Structure 1
Amino acid sequence: MLKGLSRRCFCNSPSPQPWLFVGLGNPGLKYSGTRHNVGFEMIDAFAESQGIMMNTVHCKAVFGQGYVGEIPIFLSKPQTYMNLSGESTGPLAAYYKLPLNRVLVFHDDMTLPRGVLRLQDKGGHGSHNGLKSVIQHFRGNREFPRFRIGIGRPPGQMDPKAFLLQKFNAKAQEQIDVAMQEGVDILKYLLARGLTESARRFNVEQKYKHLRVQTLPT
């Protein structure tokens, strides 16, 4: 039986393998609503949609657990600050004995237009310090899936670090809110159909969304 989850009957079929969803961000009100925290926002949107309470602390993370259909799901928001995200994510994956292909990391991405989403089965860190830390605590293994949430590039010569820690204006936040709801649908589909089919379906849709998003003001 999985640690922390009640026993269920699956009618003689193999129990579905759980997923761990990890949203990257920085803890505290100071960082709430900033571009760097959209990973946290996506976790919160999904938890609310499924009625999963994020009301415990586990492995240095705000943590929730439940089922989506018959699939066990663990939701995590590391409280270590972004640059040390692996200090929470690595121990969580180890605690539940999860293969890395069942650990989906949600993170902001400046290479994608604001509000555009991408599923990816593996990859590097792309200079994202949260991903760097996760990879380090996975002993250099990069073969874990990511849910990339586009926040757009800094305007002009703006310092990327300052850009990441800025809050969205009202119009941009509306766009992110729409992306969060789209993300919930993508994640539910992923749990039902798997990563490969989900990426094939939704990445194409999001590619065309890019043509609409890139012309909107920051």
Structure 2
Amino acid sequence: MFLVVGLGNPGKEYDGTRHNIGFEAIDCISKKYNIDVNRAKFKGVFGEGFINGCKVVLLKPTTYMNLSGESIREAINFYKLEKEEVIVIYDDISLEVGKLRIREKGSAGGHNGIKSIIANMSTDVFPRIKIGVGQPKGDLVSHVLGKFSKEEVQDLNEVIDASAKAVEIIIKDGTKEAMNELNGFKLSRIE
């Protein structure tokens, strides 16, 4: 069984922002595998279903980004999951828009949602899928809470699809296989 978590902030005002790319990835996975994410529990919204015959729980924490770990900890405790069974999808400013990076472990890299998860799980060892949202040209908060341009939105759809494929590979063949297949993923027009 796997818990697949997309990070973001609740509320319409955050829809389409860089920081909510994890929520968008969960929406994509939900649609692709026909898993309704509409039940409230674990300080979030979740749904249960199957990906390639494996039971999964899709979760969107509604704690706001900085407290995401509280939601994840509640779900882990309820389902009695191991850290390797938790996949986190989130935005990464160190990657340009249109890029994807998968890791088995690592530091928070300044990401407050990941800091909260590491603190609540007492480990930095869990699979993660980072979706590039580009470097800020000015204020970091304005950047991550800002909206994507029309051109960037087109690029993101392809990367979000790739993140759904990454989840599928991690569940079926493991994180290393997903890293081998998709790390370095970039849109055809990004060199």
Fold shared per TM-score above 0.5 = yes
Residue 58 of structure 1 is matched in structure 2 by 41
Paired position in structure 1 for 2:53: 70
Give 1:211 shift.
8.3
Equivalent-residue separation in structure 1 for 2:39 and 2:85 (angstroms): 21
Q: Which has the larger radius of gyration?
A: 1
The one-letter code of the counterpart of 1:213 is I
> Cα RMSD (Å) of the superposition?
1.4
Give the equivalent residue in structure 2 for 1:81: 64
Secondary structure of the equivalent of 1:89? helix
Q: Displacement, 1:55?
A: 1.2
Asked whether the 8 Å contact 2:108–2:114 carries over to 1, the reply is yes
Residue 94 of structure 1 aligns to which amino acid in structure 2? N
CA distance in 2, matches of 1:185, 1:42: 10
SS in 2 for 1:67: strand
Distance in 2 (CA, whole Å) between partners of 1:90 and 1:165 is 25
The 5 Å alignment of 1:1-218 reads: 18-139=1-122, 141-155=123-137, 158-204=138-184, 206=185, 209=186, 212-213=189-190
TM-score (norm 1): 0.84
Alpha-carbon distance in structure 1 between the residues aligned to 2:179 and 2:35: 24
Q: Which runs of 5+ in 1 are unaligned?
A: 1-17
Query: Do 2:155 and 2:187's aligned partners in 1 also have CA atoms closer than 8 Å?
Result: no
Runs of 4+ aligned residues of structure 1 deviating over 6 Å after TM superposition are none
Deviation at 1:210, TM superposition (A): 7.0
TM-score relative to the length of structure 2: 0.95
Q: Which runs of 5+ in 2 are unaligned?
A: none
**Residues 114-153 of structure 1: CA distance to partner in whole angstroms, max 9, x if unpaired?**
12111100000001000011111112x1111111000110
AA partner of residue 181 (structure 1)? D
Quick check: which one's strand share is greater?
A: 2
Sequence identity (%):
39
Deviations 1:17-70 (A, max 9, x none): x01001110000000000000000001101100000011011111101111132
Deviation at residue 182 of structure 1 after TM alignment: 1.9
